[in-house]
Structure formats: C-alpha cells, structure tokens
C-alpha cells in the first residue's frame, strides 16, 4: 500500500465506494469516526449520502469542530497529497475532496465560497448519468453520475471551476478543497481521485 494516509468521513454515505477507489490507487483508506482519527491522516474525503444525516451524526459524535480545524489548519511536515499538477501554494493544508452531500457540508461549514441549491437537478429525474468534459483530465470524457445533486448557483472569489455541465459548475476547487456535485466514486474511472490525491495508477 502507498504511504499516503487518506481518511474518509465514515459515519454515513458511500464510504465503501470511495474506499474502493483509494485501494485501486494503492492507498489504504482510514475511516474517520472520532476526533482523534484526524491526527492519523493527511487528506480527507467527505462522501455523498444525505448531508443532513452526516451533519447530525457528526454533531452527535463531536466531529464538527475537529473537522473544520483539520481542513483549515496548515500542518508542518504534512506530506502533500496533491499531485504536481494540482499543488497549491498553500500545500501545507490537507487535501480535501467532497462529493455531492460532501460538497453541501463543506458549504454549510463555511469552507467553500459558493452558493448552492440542494436537490436542484429535478425531482422526477432523481438520477442521471452524463459524459462530462473535465479539461484537467484531458479529452476523454468522464462519466458523471448525478443523484439528487446540489446545483452550484454561484462561485465566489478564490473558487476555480474545474468542470461544468450545461453552463453550471459541477467540479470546483478552492485552495486545498475539491468538491463535485456528482459521484466519481460510483463509476469505474479513477482519474478524478487520482488527480486529487496524486498517485500513480496501479499499472
Ligand atoms: N440530496 C442529498 C442531500 O441533500 C445529496 C445527495 C447525494 O449525496 N447523492 O444531502
């Protein structure tokens, strides 16, 4: 297994799916359920699921302030988990990736300067898959799975749009935080996780 220690907030949602992608990248994921778990990791995934449930459970487990602290505190000697192509000036901050409900939580914590609307991709059309153009990945399209996804209505200062769908940002980055309104953990394509956590493909 690779030396990088990437945590997954593991109280609700598609934890196992993110873990499977990390394993394909030869990273053994670390499940985060308690405040002291943050000491073990260099990067964190906040999965998709139901954001209200994740928030309420995180609150019950006393995880809200440790989580905010982990995301916003630079750490000396923190090995950067980010590849050359996505490294920021401020690479002492841990690399964070939120998908769908994870994106909603990052906004709720005041950590992403964006405005969103939950479940905005239509009620009757609860779920859909579409081939996305994600320029940082090159010309081969990425299969985007949207499940009662939040819509990013506005991106503010410091937020870079990494991909759009029908003119709306769906994959963004603000300094050390990446967030997607779709679910790259649910498809058989590891390029987004690989880009974010910067590891070479198994072969
Ligand atoms: N609709 C969910 C919410 O509002 C997010 C859905 C998802 O993560 N797939 O939290």
What would the pLDDT profile of 3-39 be if each residue is shown by its tens digit? 789 999 999 999 999 999 999 999 989 999 999 999 9
Whether 51 maps to a domain, the answer reads yes
The pTM (predicted TM-score) of the whole model is 0.91
Whether 203 maps to a domain, the answer reads no
CA atoms of 15 and 160, how far apart (whole Å): 26
Output the DSSP codes for 180-198: ESS-GGGSS--HHHHHHHT
Place of tokens 């799975």: 145
Whether 201 maps to a domain, the answer reads no
User: What is the pLDDT confidence band of residue 86, given thresholds at 50, 70 and 90?
Assistant: very low
The mean pLDDT value for 55-77 works out to 92
For residue 134, give its domain range.
Answer: 6-196
Work out how many domains the chain is built from and give that number. Answer: 1
Which positions are catalytic? Answer: 100, 183, 185
User: What is the pLDDT confidence band of residue 198, given thresholds at 50, 70 and 90?
Assistant: confident
Kindly give, in sequence order, each residue whose CB lies less than 8 Å from that of residue 33, ignoring residues fewer than 6 positions away. 10, 11, 61, 63
| Residue 79 CA to ligand 1 centre (angstroms) | 31
What does pLDDT average to over the chain? 89
Percent above pLDDT 70 for the chain: 86
CA atoms of 162 and 139, how far apart (whole Å): 14
Question: Which structure tokens are listed for 100?
Answer: 């769908």
Whether 13 maps to a domain, the answer reads yes
Whether 168 maps to a domain, the answer reads yes
Q: Which residue has a Cα nearest atom 1 of ligand 1?
A: 148
| Residue 146 CA to ligand 1 centre (angstroms) | 9
CA atoms of 173 and 135, how far apart (whole Å): 14
Is beta strand 177-180 parallel, antiparallel or unpaired with respect to 95-99?
A: parallel
The atom of ligand 1 lying closest to the CA of 47 is 8
- What are the tens digits of pLDDT across the range 141-194? 999 999 999 999 999 999 999 999 999 999 999 999 999 999 999 999 999 999
The answer on pLDDT for 200 being more than 50 is no
Q: Residue 54 maps to which CATH number?
A: 3.40.50.880
What residues pair up with 35 in beta bridges, in sequence order?
none
Percent above pLDDT 90 for the chain: 79
The answer on pLDDT for 93 being more than 90 is no
Whether 1 maps to a domain, the answer reads no
């Amino acid at each position: 297994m690779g030396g990088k220690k990437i945590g997954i907030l593991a109280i609700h949602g598609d934890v196992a799916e993110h873990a499977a992608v990390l394993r394909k990248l030869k990273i053994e994921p670390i499940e985060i359920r308690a405040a002291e778990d943050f000491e073990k990791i260099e990067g964190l995934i906040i999965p998709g699921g139901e954001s209200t449930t994740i928030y309420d459970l995180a609150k019950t487990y006393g995880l809200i302030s440790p989580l905010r602290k982990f995301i916003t505190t630079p750490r000396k000697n923190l090995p950067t988990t980010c590849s050359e192509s996505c490294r920021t000036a401020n690479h002492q901050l841990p690399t964070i990736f939120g998908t769908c409900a994870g994106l909603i939580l990052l906004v709720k914590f005041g950590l992403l300067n964006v405005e969103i609307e939950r479940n905005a991709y239509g009620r009757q059309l609860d779920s859909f898959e579409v081939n996305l153009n994600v320029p940082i990945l090159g010309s081969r399209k990425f299969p985007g799975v949207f499940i009662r996804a939040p819509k990013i209505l506005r991106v503010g200062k410091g937020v870079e749009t990494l991909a759009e769908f029908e003119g709306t940002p769906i994959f963004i980055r603000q300094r050390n935080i990446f967030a997607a309104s779709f679910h790259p953990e649910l498809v058989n394509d590891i390029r987004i996780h690989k880009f974010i956590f910067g590891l070479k493909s198994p072969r």
